[in-house]
Structure 1
Amino acid sequence: MSVRQERSRSVDRRVRVQGHPVDAYPALPPEAERGSVRRVTVVGEEVLSRPCREVTEFGTPELSALIDDMFATMYVADGAGLAANQVGVDLRLFVYDCPDDEGIRHVGHLINAVLDLPDPGSRRLVDDFEGCLSVPGATMAVPRTDRAVARGLDKDGNPLVIEGTGYFARCLQHETDHLFGHTYLDRLSKRDRKDAVRQMEDCQQDVFAQRAIKAASLGR
């Protein structure tokens, strides 16, 4: 998921890491410092359109390295969230570094995520513009609920419950969609989907160039 352009991680005053409040946190997460940048898959690639496999092995160096690489890739691509299939790995895992509408920055990862949404009678749908790192350069209005709870595990197999409101709730819904083989394009009308693909075709080369510049600035 793309970062809202008007928001900056550098101005966030409050941070929750893996759902827990912390007093301070660096603008560049430690995982991104350790990780290597991977290629981001683009809509149309088969790995994005099939459900991801559950993670069954926890606490491994390979899983930790994948999370580090996903953070580095998300940062270089100016993302607020990134699913494993967006770097070509079909595992049910996503990472996030996303603000909510109250200015709280949420940072972490979630494995084998399932989503709890409010009951239909109490939920409020909000239309807001949404982008995706696998649909580079395109943004479209997508209806999402303004509250969401994602349940899953951390990299060591410990249970996690991550609650989101506003833009962070949107992020949790967007990334969980990826784990089941969907992008936000699947939630659009046929006409809007064509518009998004047209935007991507017009902008993707510029987006790729900006990612390359940012990666080079980090020595990646």
Structure 2
Amino acid sequence: MTVRDIRIVGDPVLRTPCEEIATIDDRVRALVADLLETVDADGRAGLAANQIGVSLRAFSWNIDGELGYVLNPRLVEVSEQEQHGDEGCLSVPGLWYPTTRGAYARVTGMDVDGNAVDVAGEGLMARCLQHEYDHLDGKLYLSRLTGPVRKDALRTVREKF
């Protein structure tokens, strides 16, 4: 297991949709170990594979002391009820902006043994599932911002990174 460097906004891998994992092999097992090791640090809630430079559909989470991961996730449910709050991203370090997400989310996928994974939650877990799923589609949370907040965020990103 290795704690991997985080790719920062501007890196093309963050804007490229990730590929499905076709075969679970030693490379994928090592990726999962690295995702779990890298997300297991204070202040980290989630981490997508492309954030460590691997363009495969996998992400990990570290919510309320629970570490987990999912391969080839599908976002199968997001509540219409919304949650509002500041959101940040390891790939956009130091910046937090008000971002609206579903109050509840559910993701399905598989683990390294090919077993079904079904993870759901509210609050921070729901925000994390949606945020990491967006990463796998090549989207940063900044793309969800609107109006003056979006304008300010994009200006700040241009100046800072």
- Fold equivalence (TM over 0.5): yes
> CA separation in 1, counterparts of 2:66 and 2:42?
18
Match of 1:151 in 2: 108
CA contact (8 A) 2:36 2:67 kept: no
TM-score, normalisation: structure 1: 0.67
Match of 2:145 in 1: 188
Deviation at 1:75, TM superposition (A): 3.0
Corresponding position: 1:111 with 2:68: no
Question: Which residue identity does 2:69 align to in structure 1?
Answer: H
Higher strand share: 2
Deviations 1:24-74 (A, max 9, x none): xxxxxxxxxxx212211111211111110000111x222121112122222
> CA separation in 1, counterparts of 2:148 and 2:85?
17
Deviation at 1:195, TM superposition (A): 3.0
CA contact (8 A) 1:37 1:76 kept: no
Question: Which residue identity does 1:42 align to in structure 2?
Answer: I
Larger radius of gyration: 1
1:199-218 alignment, distance < 5 Å: none
> CA separation in 2, counterparts of 1:166 and 1:181?
23
* DSSP 3-state at the match of 1:169: helix
Residues matched between the structures, number: 160
Deviation at 1:199, TM superposition (A): 6.8
> CA separation in 2, counterparts of 1:90 and 1:190?
31
> CA separation in 2, counterparts of 1:157 and 1:86?
23
Match of 2:45 in 1: 80
The match for 1:162 among 96, 115, 119 is 119
> CA separation in 1, counterparts of 2:125 and 2:158?
24
CA contact (8 A) 2:47 2:132 kept: yes
The match for 1:70 among 25, 35, 41 is 35
CA contact (8 A) 1:38 1:69 kept: yes
CA contact (8 A) 2:19 2:56 kept: yes
Deviation at 1:201, TM superposition (A): 5.4
Query: Which residues of structure 1 form unaligned runs of 5+?
Result: 1-34, 100-104, 205-220
* DSSP 3-state at the match of 1:86: helix
Match of 1:89 in 2: 54
Corresponding position: 1:178 with 2:135: yes
* DSSP 3-state at the match of 2:131: helix
Q: Which runs of 4+ in 1 moved over 6 A?
A: none
* DSSP 3-state at the match of 2:99: strand
Deviation at 1:190, TM superposition (A): 5.4
Cα RMSD of the aligned pairs, angstroms, is 2.0
CA contact (8 A) 1:54 1:91 kept: yes
CA contact (8 A) 1:135 1:200 kept: no
Match of 1:43 in 2: 9
Taking only the aligned residue pairs, the percentage that are identical comes to: 41
CA contact (8 A) 2:36 2:69 kept: no
